[in-house]
Chain A
Amino acid sequence: MGKYFNSGGKILGLALWLGAASMGAAQAGPPEEPRVVNMAELGKVAGKRGGTLKILMAKPKDIRMMVIYSGTRLVTYNDSFKLAPDILKSFDVVEGRQFTLHLRKGHKWSDGQPFTSEDFRYYWEDVAYNKELARGGLSNKLLVDGNPPKFEVLDELTVRYTWESANPLFLTALAGARPLYIYKPAHYMKQFHAKYQDKAKLDQMVIDNKVQKWSSLHVRKGRQYRPENPDMPTLQQWMNTTNPPSEHYIFKRNPYFHRVDEKGTQLPYIDTVIVNMSSSAIIAAKTGGGESDLQARYLRFDNYAFLKKGAETHKYKVYLWPNGKGSQMTILPNLNVADPVWRKVMQDVRVRRALSMGINRPEINEAIYFGLAQETGNSVLPSSPLYKEEYAVAWADYDVEEANELLDEAGLDKRNGDGTRLLPDGREMVITVETAGESTEETDVLQLITEHWKELGIKLFSKPTQRDILRRRITNGDTIMSVWQGLNRGLATPDMNPEELAPVSPLQGIWPKWGQYYETKGVAGEAPDLPEVIKLSELYQSWRKATSVEEQAKIWHAMLSIFTDQVYTIGIVSGTLQPVVVNEHLRNVPKEGIYSFEPTAYFGHYLPDTFWFDE
């Protein structure tokens, strides 16, 4: 195929690719310069190809797990959590502001068409800068001081992004569990683009697909984070072959995948992945019955005894991976709640500290987590280089007396007949904590906390809703408190984005309005008015300009110190264990791993394409 690249102009090249495809000339196989995964170095064993991997999922949206698990990114974190090229052959960084990305020679999409700089150009010029397709403008991660980079195509296999000043977010965003996509399969997507497609034909397609306009069609056909469209080519190791909705998705091997093992066998080893949809409530039961070869999602720690019981009969192993989240579950006081009285109460650091100290963490740990979790607040984990004990234990000691004193000091010293504290306007201090209603673990913990906070004279009601409804309520400022998971980057390294510690998004349950203000660049939401939060915002801005790891680490520490001392989130326990069920015959799944969204992308970091069946 190499000669087509040398033939000059892109248009001619495109015509030739199409010709080649129609002749079926494309030869399946890895790129000429594949990524060689050295199994021995990773403590893995080179295996043989074949077999079918069955996994269980609950919601149609879970199909994105296949993208997360794939671990296929332009750049990824290597074994020691340093950034390394994956889809890219290599990348060069100059002064932290100029990024030159080199593609692999002969790398092809799963339909056999070449993967080249044209795919980057298409995204940049025809998608990101198309007013109809990208109404929100460029992602924040591509802007430095509000300015986009200069994009250049150097040749077929090289592109370059240059900013005025450093953008430390760029590479980490490309490596994210939910990555920033800066390329699209141009040869496929062009048929849905008004610039390239004949208008009559496009209008017909819009009607056939029952959408409103061509941009919706383009978005729907080209989702990369949710591989719903079986026709869309991919670079992942497995490609979807099933149209949604379905109870049974079949992912087949991508014959052009770019990784090989040290013996030259193209990965993935496993031919087919079958994703079966099932109710989340019975996934533990089904897994215990041997219906999944690799399962962690929807399994809870308290399923462990049950899972262990069926392990021998159904021939699977159960591993326990520590959770990589900063806290298993956190309570988020909403500093932007619409109710002005509550807002004032929630913004009082004494109240937040008291609420945190009023939680009997040892009891929760013992009762729910078998005493195996760490009784800490929401911070980074001990295995993170940024860990300091003072962050983890800040205001996390159980001390009812001091908590009550703090509340009295905060002006909540009036109580009614049955000992419930009264808000400044005379209402009872009844906190409704809203949850996404997905796990009984949350309800159990909240029930214990209900008892604990009774000692503080505060009534707690938990109200389960649904995740999407909860998100909307948070954004509207309707919630007083909600329950969410802790910091995603519990294993943070200094070069990882500290965005979770500062107001950046309206989805942040603690300060949705302030987050919205940042995200919309001041158009909507409210500017933060607490000095500590303003400081966090400034620190975040300075991190985005930091050029050295030392500087980044310093900023991280400053942010963690404010964040944990101000108790913006009330973490319950951390380092809980996640059961991971693995078929007895499935090799190369590490016995000890870290279960987290960032940076390990659940299984993605452990290269699922290297898993194989030994029978």
Chain B
Amino acid sequence: MSALPPENTGKLPHFVSKEPFDLESIEKLTPEQERIYFASQLTLMWWKFKQHRVAVWSGVFLAVLYASIFISEFLSPYDMTKRHVKDIYAPPQGIHLFHKGEFVGPFVYPYKVTRNMETLQRVFTVVDKKPQPLRFFCRGDKYKWFGYVKSNLHLVCPPKKGSFYLLGTDRLGRDMLSRIIAGARISLTIGLIGITVSFVLGIVIGGLAGYYGGWVDMIVQRMIEVLQSIPSIPLWLTLSAIMPATWSPILVYFGITIILGLLDWTGLARAVRSKLLALREEDYVLAARLIGASPKRIIGRHLVPGFMSHLIASATITIPTMILGETALSFLGLGLRPPITSWGVLLNEAQDINVVAVYPWLMLPVLPVIFVIIAFNFLGDGLRDAADPYK
């Protein structure tokens, strides 16, 4: 901070010019130009973002997925924990529309289960005699919506006296589709909660380091270096091993998100710090200081909004790391534990030679993980391009 006001000058008198003031007195803008020049930052970003087709579609895809986690129970055909002992390891059951050339509407053919005593496997044969139409907006397994609202309404239900396993069942006869839908709730939100934690930490710590500089910056920088030098997986493992076995799965879930968040803020803090170092030299910061704004207000109101768009874009790119982090931890058996169901937990259960060789449909939870990660990456890409609309 170079130019400080001279001391002992007293308060300056308030001065307002009485001359008429016309912004456009020198150059008149056409309405077309006006639209562009007066557009807000957000509008400009939106225009730019719209040009990135893939990013838009990724955004829509993610929005739909995130919307679905509010109504997971309604969307899934079964209760995700319901075991169908007679239908263990049922392969995916296809949906058909036409029966013998005749349009019936969505229906399934029933399975006939026999036991092969030679290989000790349950053999599912499709009996394509009698189509069993699926029911929609129907009453099925009971559930408590968010633990409170009791209901049994489902988007689609298995036919009466029939079954509907679109993605097959697992070793306890639980419907995979329902489990994947239920797993989305955990796997998708764990990223958001984790990112919030890391955002808060990153902005506060990085902000302080950047604004004050000096020894604060020194300490923060060293801390970040130490944290970043520790390999992440062993560190996760140690932290998740600390969580006691008697914790309820919900507590474990929060514990894991916080662990993921606690370890992820370093990169963001660095970005915030370097941006702040540059921005704090700007004239408007000096102006704010002269008026007497507190550091909190200067960082929060004047500095951070200056690169908020950049932060959002970088957050979008970090969410997939969080999701992958959860998946990796659970896959290793150290993250979430059943009965909590996440994609990582599902993949952990598929970690078996039998699955690869005999029951490959249990590996299907890989697909949503891949799609979500790709979608987030495209979306982040689009947002980053859009964040700098003047380029």
The interface of chain A, by Cβ under 8 A from chain B, is 282, 284-285, 288, 302-306, 308-309, 363, 366-368, 370, 372, 430, 432, 440, 444, 447-448, 450-451, 461, 463
Contact = CB atoms under 8 A, between A and B. Distances in A.
A367 B358 contact: no
A303 B85 contact: no
17 contacts: A284-B354, A285-B353, A306-B353, A308-B118, A309-B119, A309-B357, A363-B83, A363-B85, A367-B88, A367-B173, A370-B115, A372-B120, A447-B338, A447-B339, A448-B83, A448-B172, A451-B81
B245 interface: yes
Contacts of A288: 353, 357
Contacts of B51: none
Given A305-B358, A308-B119, A370-B120, A440 B352 contact: yes
Contacts of B120: 304-305, 308, 370, 372
Given A306-B358, A363-B85, A461 B119 contact: no
Contacts of A363: 83, 85
Given A303-B353, A367-B171, A461 B121 contact: no
Report which residue of A303, A305, A448 has the largest number of chain B beta carbons within 10 angstroms of its beta carbon. A305
A306 B354 contact: yes
Contacts of B358: 305-306, 309
Contacts of A285: 353
A216 B245 CA distance: 38
Nearest to B118: A308
Contacts of B115: 370
A372 B121 CA distance: 12
A304 B115 CA distance: 14
A406 to B, nearest CB: 25
Nearest to B348: A440
A366 B354 CA distance: 18
Chain B interface size, as a band, is: 20 to 34
A366 B85 contact: yes
B246 A461 contact: yes
Given A309-B357, A444-B172, A448-B83, 9 more contacts: A303-B354, A308-B120, A309-B119, A366-B88, A367-B171, A430-B246, A432-B246, A444-B171, A461-B246
B173 A284 contact: no
Contacts of B357: 288, 306, 309
Interface string B44-84: 00000000000000000000000000000000000001010
A367 B353 contact: no
* 4 interchain residue pairs of minimum CB distance: A463-B245, A285-B353, A308-B119, A305-B121
Contacts of B118: 308
Nearest to B84: A367
B147 to A, nearest CB: 11
B172 A367 contact: yes
A440 B338 CA distance: 13
A366 B339 CA distance: 21
A283 to B, nearest CB: 9
Give the dominant DSSP class at B's interface.
loop
B172 to A, nearest CB: 6
Contacts of B245: 432, 461, 463
A578 to B, nearest CB: 13
A285 B88 CA distance: 22
Interface string B206-228: 00000000000000000000000
A448 B245 CA distance: 18
A367 B174 CA distance: 11
Report which residue of A366, A367, A368, A463 has the largest number of chain B beta carbons within 10 angstroms of its beta carbon. A367
Contact of A305 (B86, B119, B172, B246): B119
A461 B338 CA distance: 10
Interface string B168-190: 00011100000000000000000
Contacts of A308: 118-120
A67 B119 CA distance: 32
A218 to B, nearest CB: 39
Nearest to B116: A305
Contacts of A444: 171-172
A305 B354 CA distance: 8
Contacts of B173: 367
A370 B172 CA distance: 11
Nearest to A285: B353
A309 B118 CA distance: 11
Contacts of A305: 119-121, 354, 358
Report which residue of B115, B171, B357 has the largest number of chain A beta carbons within 10 angstroms of its beta carbon. B357
B168 to A, nearest CB: 15
Contacts of B172: 367, 444, 447-448
A415 B121 CA distance: 42
A363 B245 CA distance: 27
Contact of B353 (A284, A372, A450, A463): A284
A388 to B, nearest CB: 30
B88 A282 contact: no
Contacts of A302: 171, 354
Contacts of B119: 304-305, 308-309
Contacts of B352: 440
Contacts of A370: 115, 120
A323 to B, nearest CB: 15
A532 to B, nearest CB: 31
Contacts of A447: 172, 338-339
Interface in B156-204: 171-173
Nearest to A368: B171
A363 B338 CA distance: 19
Nearest to A287: B353
Contacts of A432: 245-246
Contacts of A430: 246
Contacts of A368: 171
Nearest to B349: A440
A256 B353 CA distance: 42
A580 to B, nearest CB: 14
Interface string B351-371: 011100110000000000000
Nearest to A310: B357
Nearest to A365: B85
Nearest to A366: B85
Report which residue of B115, B121, B339 has the largest number of chain A beta carbons within 10 angstroms of its beta carbon. B121
A194 B384 CA distance: 78
B79 to A, nearest CB: 12
Contacts of B338: 447
A11 B56 CA distance: 94
B139 to A, nearest CB: 23
A284 B353 CA distance: 7
A305 B356 CA distance: 12
A296 to B, nearest CB: 16
A529 B354 CA distance: 48
Interface string B118-130: 1111000000000
A367 B354 contact: no
Nearest to B351: A281
A168 B126 CA distance: 61
Nearest to A579: B120
Contacts of A451: 81, 83
A447 B81 CA distance: 11
A451 B353 CA distance: 27
Nearest to B354: A306
A376 to B, nearest CB: 19
Interface in B81-110: 81, 83, 85-86, 88
Report which residue of B172, B338, B354 has the largest number of chain A beta carbons within 10 angstroms of its beta carbon. B354
B66 to A, nearest CB: 29
A469 B172 CA distance: 30
A282 B353 CA distance: 8
B58 to A, nearest CB: 36
A434 to B, nearest CB: 9
Nearest to A577: B120
Nearest to B89: A305
Contacts of B86: 366
A309 B338 CA distance: 30
Contacts of B85: 363, 366-367
